[in-house]
Structure 1
């Protein structure tokens, strides 16, 4: 809460994926978050996408995996990375990643909220544009990142 009794908005980042798909980009972003000492929630817009992300976090690196789980796995509060379709935050995450049209719900309790969307997916692009407009209308401070041809993130605004 700020001095006026209003909840402050977290940092809002939009990540525009152009060269690497979500299943390849998300693990890197999650690793960075965990190195900061943050727990993370990843929210997908549908069950199929959630399953794809779950599999990607187990298999993206031959040398290891990202520790994570879902409500079905149990022990939600102990998961460093929690995957969901809901707006819950059972692991006390500091950062929330939103994908595939997920509805954010209340975001005031996070340090950072990250929207991830692929340029090749018209529905994801429409979702990101609508969320950008909505959040701007609420006075959010938004940073826009876009992948360069090598897959590195370049800050655009």
Structure 2
């Protein structure tokens, strides 16, 4: 059974939240694939992960660069898993593949976008119907996370 987490972004945007969550995955030595909603977004996140902090970067690769299997974090807009990840992040309304091969799947969605909210509800229902272990987290006013379900 896959653990499926839904992160409802209310105060901080994806660009501020995603690097920290990926860092936690790498600390646990988890391989990660991040699926975006478009190739353009792959490029934007690729740049972000190299520059999001002055004193650090996240080792990663992106579609079209080659050597996919070598990267602990891989960015793609497709449903593939080129680096053999056990954790899948879905951002920017990406359509999930079958989540059952993963240990964990993480949906990050913009709480101010009605279409993103609708998609998240649909993915929640699909994940629940598939028998996955589901949790829902919402940003608090201080920027932390509170489990809501």
The SS at the match of 1:64 is coil
The SS at the match of 2:88 is strand
Structure 1 residue 138, shift from structure 2 partner: 2.2
How does the TM-score come out when normalised to structure 1? 0.90
Q: Give the number of aligned pairs.
A: 149
Q: In structure 1, what is the equivalent of residue 92 of structure 2?
A: 100
Q: In structure 2, what is the equivalent of residue 48 of structure 1?
A: 40
How does the TM-score come out when normalised to structure 2? 0.95
For structure 2, the residue ranges without an aligned partner over 5 or more in a row are: none
Structure 1 residue 42, shift from structure 2 partner: 0.2
Structure 1 residue 122, shift from structure 2 partner: 2.0
- 1:4-15 alignment runs, 5 A limit: 9-15=1-7
Structure of higher CA gyration radius: 1
Q: What do the CA deviations read for 1:104-136 (whole angstroms, capped 9, x no partner)?
A: 112211110000001122221111111112222
- 1:132-151 alignment runs, 5 A limit: 132-151=124-143
CA RMSD of aligned residues (A): 1.1
For structure 1, the residue ranges without an aligned partner over 5 or more in a row are: 1-8
In the alignment, the residues of structure 1 paired with residue 6 and residue 64 of structure 2 have an alpha-carbon distance, to the nearest angstrom, of 29
